[in-house]
Structure 1
Amino acid sequence: MPQPLPRDSEQNADTGAIKLLLVVSVALVTFVAFEALAVASAMPTVSHELGGEQLYALAYGITLASQVATTPPAGRWCDAGGTRLALITGVATFIVGLVIAGAAPEMWVLVIGRAVQGIGGALVIVPLYVLVGTVVPARRRPGFFAAFSAAWVVPSLVGPVLAGFLAEHASWRWVFLGIAAVALPALFLVLGVLARIGRSDDLPNPDDVPAAPAGGSRGVVWFAIGAGVGAALLQSTGAEPGERGGVTLTDAIAIALALVALAVCVPGLLPRGALRLRPKVPALITGRALLNGSFIGVEVFLVLMLQRQHDWSPMAAGLVLTTGSLSWGAASVVAARVRTETARARLPWIGTALLALGILLVMPSAWPSVPAWLTIVGWVFGGGGIGLAMSASSVLALGWTPRARQGEVSAHLQIADALGAAVLVALTGLAVAVVPLGSSGELPYLAALGIGFVLSVVAATASYRSQGEPAAEEATPMTGPAPSSGL
């Protein structure tokens, strides 16, 4: 890894270069966040216009799967060759993915573009974190990370509604091409800030790194690639309701291969004891993966349900996601005000219980005859629940971990978020694809909501168990293969 800025030289750091790095970093995170959050409200329109209803789940979830597969290799690249080339490649790849998706003549081309976006997004976020850790003085790093978090706020509030507006009144293609148009100048800003950092005598060169160690993180890299491929393969069996009459032989083979890949690779990406819900960090991270997966897996089909079952416009359906984002933000503020560890340790399971309640409240809206406003009420609870749980789980996981291993646990948290979402989108997509429509088309949506509810209850159980006595070892090192049992 590049060496951080020495403490005694922080006062002489190039303030102008650091400010420019902050501006460019926030812009890049905002672009990635917008695409991650906005596309849900436009995807039903996209699949309808491109005739790609059978690829609905894959088109949404492939970005998550490719992020899972790319994040550890991106970290290894930064360790081995510095951040400069990785970051430039990431921004360029992200833009290329946006252009491919925005110009897609068919759904399978859009899927390719979305996959490229996910690869680019991972190659943007990982180098940015490395840059902050190696170039930015320690006293300024909290401000950078706070800005990164804030960069998700505006896209979460505006993105779904704006994407719905574009899909409804202009073209869904601008959801992708519009971001590409504003991200392209950012690529030149990235080149400028990296050049300025490289010329500065007061800042360490982010590419001045030793050769990568011979062993290290190769095991987790292959586990991540395998899990990402498995999640994408499972997503490929999903579709919009009524588009598949059942599970074909090809589907069955794909499902079997995907489940084998996930069963082999997922344990290598989680802390030791995570699947057995061992108290403290292992159980907490399992709960977090299921929590984020349940929320995203339900949300992606929530928009589809409102548009197909209740004839809501893309923009109106996007407002429901914005409502969830508002309650998420408000709950995060509440969680931040909790001072004692005992009270904070209760928030993850209370939050996941609120998410489960929210999903239950949404379920009746699967019937067209039931007022759709129940969805808004339910998603206020759902967003509030994940806001309480996610904020508290990050603080607890790091607080329960020795300082020397906090980087390892941070990586576990990031991978768990992406992995949980990628797998749960695949599972809910499969359920929606194969379950019969029912009398009024409600059964596929009830199946997806039911999966989200059951797994959110499991997430609450895992979070509750995290309050127990700590195990002898709280986490499996990221550098090296996981135990053979994965448990």
Structure 2
Amino acid sequence: MPGDLQQAASRQAPRSRRSVLSLFAPQYRAATIGVVAAMTLFAFEGMAVATVMPVVAMEFDGLGLYAWAFSAYVALSLVGMVVSGTWCDRDGPRRAMWVGLWVFAGGAVVAGVAWSMPVLIAARGLQGLGGGALIVATYVLIARAFPEDLRPKAFSLLAAAWVVPAIVGPLIAAWLTETLSWRFAFWLVPFVLVLPALLLRKILREHDGGTGERGRSGRIVPALVTAAGLTLAMASFMRPAGLPLWVDLLGLGVGLLMLAYGVRVLLPAGAFRLRRGLPMTVLMRGLLAGAFFGAEAFIPLALVEQRGFTVTMAGLVLSVSALGWWVGSYTQSRIPESTDRSSTVRIGALVMATGIASLPLCLVPSVPAVVCAVSYFIASVGMGLCFPSIAVQTLRLSPVDEQGTNSAALQISDAILSSLALGILGAIHAAAVASGGATTTTYDVLWWLAAGVGIVAAVLAARMKVVARTPAPHAS
């Protein structure tokens, strides 16, 4: 009889849960609003910085260091991600979220007072440290605050949180740049921080707590080594003036060795051997991030330099990204949670690669400028299909006490491969600048290389699926 009652209860559970599976149901409302507010801050800063960076680089005569403003953020975010993942598993997401928010805001203030390109790059690294902690804590909060069936919708709502900042952020940043100074785009960040900080106080207390074990604190040293290796590799890609080729090659080799050491600890075993399941799922995040964000970093610069766009016009092109990302994310949220996500990621990767491959049309003088927005929108739809699906698959394959670690691994994969992509693409761009200036062909090559990485990701997506092995028949 107890077994029958237990089975009956398990059959009734799905019906009772379906009746309340809404992100804005009373038991989930506070978490939903708090997470969306935090992601809105993140989105506003990202869109504003991408809009003003061409002006900043030109003012500091630092076009050759343009990619570093993005790469430094990503490299230092590695450390924030690992520390945040460790804290989340051991103590819960509250401390990681608070530290991430305030360090992120502090980096923005430093960027606003920067007097040279190296100082701005250092400030962006500080922002990356806080941003890495913030995004991992957000993922863990989603895992704890929402049931498994609601997580696809929660990640879809994260994408929706980018829509308003993507429209308003570039406009505000461009207006501030053209009427006052680009510095105000950074100085606004602490003020935008206030609302999510207030909204998250209660919900973080409710979902705090962890294993209490120090367990994975040994991952911090590999994270530092990985960040240093990534920085050294990117510096070698950029070929500092006056250094012979053999020094650059030596630095690249040492940097890659440091990366190899770090990823053995920070990513699931077998990730770079393309092992099925969780390792391939985590690696897929990095491949797609490298392709998309590597291409995205050069869109405003190409439009300002080659098509004569104002900062405002280039920023408006960036604003379509959030809408496209939300369309893709909303589409994946309609897929049943139990459905394997490898096919969704494969389709999304192909859509993303198609959009990026068509970006060179933007620089053809006879082609209307609106084509750039269309291409970028298509690529963003593909990413909206992929990123939430990868997050859902990762949390599904993760034990509760490893959700922080594996959420951090997702972000680390993103950071490493997008940094390497930015380093390689930035080296090509810097070489073109040193040879007399970047041309339309320069940007065409950058975007086609990024599209090629997207196609490779589409081919590998099938390995995200865990193939169940059929047990051998028993001898009669």
TM > 0.5: yes
Cα distance, 1:466–1:181 mapped onto 2, change above 3 Å: closer
Aligned to 2:458: 460
Cα distance, 1:43–1:96 mapped onto 2, change above 3 Å: same
Aligned to 2:112: 102
Cα distance, 1:261–1:454 mapped onto 2, change above 3 Å: farther
Comparing 176-185 and 327-336, the one that deviates more: 176-185
What secondary structure is seen at the aligned counterpart in 2 of 1:223? helix
Cα distance, 1:403–1:210 mapped onto 2, change above 3 Å: closer
Q: What is the rounded CA distance, in whole Å, between the counterparts of 1:83 and 1:272 in structure 2? A: 25
Aligned to 1:230: 229
What secondary structure is seen at the aligned counterpart in 2 of 1:446? helix
C-alpha deviation, 1:347, in angstroms: 1.7
Cα distance, 1:469–1:18 mapped onto 2, change above 3 Å: closer
**Residue pair 2:304, 2:314 contacting (<8 A) in 1 also:** yes
C-alpha deviation, 1:148, in angstroms: 5.0
**Residue pair 1:273, 1:282 contacting (<8 A) in 2 also:** yes
Aligned to 2:15: none
C-alpha deviation, 1:45, in angstroms: 0.6
Aligned ranges 1:394-473 → 2 under 5 Å: 394-399=391-396, 408-435=405-432, 441-467=439-465, 469=467
Q: 1:172 aligns with which of 182, 205, 221?
A: 182
Aligned to 1:265: 262
| Aligned positions, number | 444
Q: What is the rounded CA distance, in whole Å, between the counterparts of 1:470 and 1:425 in structure 2? A: 37
**Residue pair 1:238, 1:433 contacting (<8 A) in 2 also:** no
Q: Which amino acid aligns with 1:46?
A: V
Aligned ranges 1:74-223 → 2 under 5 Å: 74-78=84-88, 86-127=96-137, 148=158, 150-183=160-193, 189=198, 193=201, 206=208, 212-213=213-214, 216-223=215-222
Aligned to 1:5: none
Comparing 350-359 and 369-378, the one that deviates more: 369-378
**Residue pair 2:237, 2:427 contacting (<8 A) in 1 also:** yes
The structure carrying a bigger helix percent of its residues is 2
Q: What is the rounded CA distance, in whole Å, between the counterparts of 1:52 and 1:274 in structure 2? A: 36
Q: What is the rounded CA distance, in whole Å, between the counterparts of 2:293 and 2:261 in structure 1? A: 24
**Residue pair 1:70, 1:123 contacting (<8 A) in 2 also:** yes
Cα distance, 1:353–1:61 mapped onto 2, change above 3 Å: same
**Residue pair 1:56, 1:238 contacting (<8 A) in 2 also:** no
What secondary structure is seen at the aligned counterpart in 1 of 2:358? helix
Q: What CA deviation, in whole Å up to 9, does each residue of 1:164-207 have, x standing for no partner?
A: 333233321111011223436876x48x947x987xxxx58x4x
Residue 64 in structure 1 maps to residue 74 in structure 2: yes
C-alpha deviation, 1:368, in angstroms: 5.6
Q: 1:36 aligns with which of 46, 61, 67?
A: 46
Comparing 99-108 and 430-439, the one that deviates more: 430-439
Cα distance, 1:465–1:324 mapped onto 2, change above 3 Å: same
Q: What is the rounded CA distance, in whole Å, between the counterparts of 2:253 and 2:381 in structure 1? A: 36
C-alpha deviation, 1:444, in angstroms: 2.8
Q: What is the rounded CA distance, in whole Å, between the counterparts of 1:304 and 1:77 in structure 2? A: 38
Aligned to 2:358: 361
TM-score (norm 1): 0.77
Q: What is the rounded CA distance, in whole Å, between the counterparts of 2:247 and 2:394 in structure 1? A: 41
Q: What is the rounded CA distance, in whole Å, between the counterparts of 2:262 and 2:386 in structure 1? A: 26
Comparing 314-323 and 157-166, the one that deviates more: 157-166
Comparing 350-359 and 162-171, the one that deviates more: 162-171
What secondary structure is seen at the aligned counterpart in 2 of 1:42? helix
C-alpha deviation, 1:251, in angstroms: 4.2
Q: What is the rounded CA distance, in whole Å, between the counterparts of 1:33 and 1:333 in structure 2? A: 18
Q: What is the rounded CA distance, in whole Å, between the counterparts of 1:80 and 1:396 in structure 2? A: 23
Cα distance, 1:277–1:167 mapped onto 2, change above 3 Å: same
Give 5+ residue unaligned stretches, structure 2.
Answer: 1-24, 471-476
Q: Which amino acid aligns with 2:228?
A: V
Cα distance, 1:356–1:127 mapped onto 2, change above 3 Å: closer
Q: What is the rounded CA distance, in whole Å, between the counterparts of 1:324 and 1:31 in structure 2? A: 16
**Residue pair 2:237, 2:423 contacting (<8 A) in 1 also:** yes
Q: What is the rounded CA distance, in whole Å, between the counterparts of 2:402 and 2:33 in structure 1? A: 30
Q: What is the rounded CA distance, in whole Å, between the counterparts of 1:446 and 1:471 in structure 2? A: 45
* Identity of matched residues, %: 32
Aligned to 2:320: 323
C-alpha deviation, 1:432, in angstroms: 1.4
Cα distance, 1:130–1:458 mapped onto 2, change above 3 Å: closer
Q: Which amino acid aligns with 1:320?
A: V
Q: What CA deviation, in whole Å up to 9, does each residue of 1:359-411 have, x standing for no partner?
A: 22113445666654442232122112111222333334444566776555434
Aligned to 2:345: 348
Q: Which amino acid aligns with 1:63?
A: Y
C-alpha deviation, 1:128, in angstroms: 5.4
Q: What is the rounded CA distance, in whole Å, between the counterparts of 2:147 and 2:345 in structure 1? A: 29
